[in-house]
Amino acid sequence: MYMNWRKVAAGFTAALLSVTTASIFPTKTVFAADVCVIDTGTEHQMIRGFGGINHPEWAGDLTQAQRQTAFGNGENELGLTVLRVFVNPDSSQWSRALPTAQFATQKGVTVFASPWEPPASLAEKYPDSSIGKLHLPKSNYAAYAKHLNDFGTYMKNNNVDLYAISVQNEPDYASEWTYWSTDETTDFIANYGDQITSTRLMSPESFQYAPENASWVPDGGKKFYRKILNNSKAMANCDLFGTHFYGTQRSWMDFPELENSGKEIWMTEVYVPNSDKDSANRYPEALQVSENIHNAMVVGNMSAYTWWYIRRNYGLMTEDGKISKRGYCMAQYSKYVRPGDVRIDATEQPADNVYVSAYKGDDNQVTIVAINKGTESCSQQFAVDADAQITEIDRYRTSASENLAKTGNMEHDSSSFWAQLPAESVSTFVVTLEDQPVEPDENGYYFHDTFESDNCDWQGHGAADIALSGRIPYQGTNALLVQNRASAWNGAEKTLPAKAFQAGKEYSFSVCLNYMDGESTKNTALSLQYTDAAGETKYARIASASAAKENYVQLANPSFKLPEGGKDFKIYVEVEGDTDNFYIDEAIGAVKGTVIDGPPVVTTTTTTTTTTTTTTKATTTTTKATTMTTKATVTTTKATTTTSASVTTAATTTVITEKPPVNTGDVNADGKVNLADVVLLQKWLLGVPETKLADWQAGDLYTDGVLNGFDLCLLRHTVTSSGNI
């Protein structure tokens, strides 16, 4: 559906144009401009979409035709992909939000909700009316959390899967609704946020994304987010952040700590530059909408951008349901930058008054949006840095005389093109790329990371740091040290090259791991992180192994399938149960079925010797210990004392073998194979936290060196057949 939409929306013909360099690159220069370089390899935030609010209580509901105009993506439609709805304090009125929300949901639109007031029975009058109209006493926090949760449940029961609900609309500008201090909202999120289970919880939506030291908002703006950032319980319960952009200057939009928190930031309400009556079609005033979106995406790293009223005399649509100039300026983004696209690097200001942002999807497309605020036309060169060739470019432009005017089949060479940016205009270029096949080397390897001179595009997974180390390489002179792990799941990760590793196909993976500290054995794993078709982050186990201290172990799977519909694949290595340092070496990704050599398997066995003596007879006991592999250890002890005694001693022997031990199914090592082993293995495969296998190799009934669903099926069959279930 996603790929088909983009093809239709952009009107692609898939025709490759053959043009000469001379025809593409004019010798005449309108005014000096740097080349705008589009770097497809440097990614920023994922985009959820663009939209606005429907507020039937205050502005009347959208008609069916207006809903189609707003959320459809055909000709003369806005292509909005985000809808904000009002949480009425009176639950008997919740049905008013349903018609448009249900329509939008059927179109695949992301719906979220914002409350202005709690139910009347929970609120009290705020003592200072200049600050707030209402206040929620702490004694009613639990009831308010239930109110928000009930709204999410109500929407879900009526076929609207609400994406999120915020704590409060503009608690720092609340003379007409409910005031919360920054401490109060943080307290609520930390101690009651986990009671909201029907949907995700969004932070309070500040009126203005103002600096933390702003004198005009002594307890508002970014202070809301700083307080949450500094409270671990609140951070755990807050799923995403929302803010408004009223009066927000470009220089205020950057908030590195929030942008690097691992949680999305949404711009959830604004109108620019004003709400004057019948101002929606003023031009070039409307161009400020495009500029505001640009700043939100590039400076603020926002994942969503939500206008105020969708339909209003100053909105995206005028009261008669027609798209306004302001709407067309948003549509330059909303119709072509779609949910799941990722913002990528671009030369942001290649010329005076020219602003550029770029985005890539998963279907060999790059979308470039260029704004020329100036009063002079600009001839601009764009160069796409990608492992692919440009096959087609379609352009859509809004200016004083144009509304999404389409120009197809623009001239280009394999990696660049020129375009005229008229004065006071915004242009969107939908660039189609043709993949250049990535072939494996003579060994079948797509990558072979030896860490001899650099980190080979590996980086820390979570809070971990990485560095080259010559302490204990598996091969060569260096390995990759993983250190400063804050949690057990922190490790090392590598983004798989998209041109080589594709969803739904099988590959061979291998990495070697060693550690020097902690317990004598540890469970280790090579896993996959990816984004599914719904935009959610998912995980899968590639291979696992029990590692012996100071010995390299191989994590390998010769036939691992990348999940269907997935993208943004990353492999990562972790050691369960602690935060000690570890090392990796010889990381390889190869074609399916490639058997990659690794270190011999290291197992640990225990040899028990019992010596018995009496006053009249000396006893010699010989114990033969077998490792269940190709090697054995024999220990002989002779008793010579004349004192009556019985002594038992244990000796541990580490044996390096070429074959793994026999697999019994006894993964909990209790001496029995029964339903408990089935349950434990199933929980471990599902990634249930704190789940550990006492003997992972006992679960490898399929004898392929990997624990997966095949082993679980065989174990379940074994237990069932034996009657132990």
**Nearest one of 99, 88, 230, 227 to 165, comparing CA atoms:** 88
Compute the distance between CA of residue 700 and CA of residue 663 in angstroms, rounded to an integer: 6
Nearest to residue 236, comparing CAs of 271, 204, 206, 200?
A: 200
Q: Whose structure tokens read 């951070």? A: 235
- In sequence order, the β-bridge partners of residue 359 are 343, 367
**Token representation of residue 478:** 């260096």
Q: Which of 170, 424, 493, 586 is catalytic?
A: 170
Identify which of 609, 611, 694 has the alpha carbon closest to the alpha carbon of residue 652: 609
Instruction: Determine the Cα–Cα distance for residues 474 and 468; give it in Å rounded to an integer.
Output: 13
CA distance 331 to 682: 47
Supply the DSSP string of 110-121, one letter for each residue: EEEEEESS--TT
| Cα distances (angstroms) measured from residue 685 to each of 181, 183, 488, 539 | 44, 41, 17, 11
Compute the distance between CA of residue 664 and CA of residue 627 in angstroms, rounded to an integer: 14
Name the active-site residue from 264, 269, 493, 574.
Answer: 269
Strands of the sheet with 537-548, listed across from one edge: 458-461, 491-495, 567-575, 521-531, 537-548
φ, ψ for residue 249, nearest 5 deg = -80, 155
* E strand map for 488-552: 491-495, 506-514, 521-531, 537-548
Identify whether the C-beta of residue 307 lies closer than 8 Å to the C-beta of residue 271.
Answer: yes
User: Alpha-carbon dihedral of residues 426, 427, 428, 431, nearest 10 degrees?
Assistant: -160
Contacts 24+ apart (CB under 8 A), 594-597: 594/443, 594/444, 594/445, 594/508, 594/558, 595/508, 595/558, 596/508, 596/510, 596/554, 596/556, 596/558
CA-wise closest residue to 499 among 573, 447, 563:
447
CA distance 45 to 260: 10
402 flagged as catalytic: no
Is 269 designated active site? yes
- Edge to edge, the sheet with strand 174-178 lists 124-125, 132-135, 174-178
Which residues on adjacent β-strands are paired with residue 37?
Answer: 383
Judge contact between 369 and 333, C-beta under 8 A: yes
Residue partners of 458: CB distance under 8 A and separation at least 6? 449, 451, 466, 480, 492, 493, 494, 584, 587
Q: Residues near 480 by Cβ (< 8 Å), separated by ≥ 6?
A: 451, 455, 456, 458, 466, 467, 468, 469, 492, 583, 584, 585
For residues 62 and 311, the answer to whether their CB atoms sit within 8 Å is: yes
CA distances from 321 to 68, 274, 318, 398 (A): 10, 20, 5, 19
Q: Cβ of 398: how many Cβ atoms within 10 Å? A: 25
Catalytic residues: 170, 269
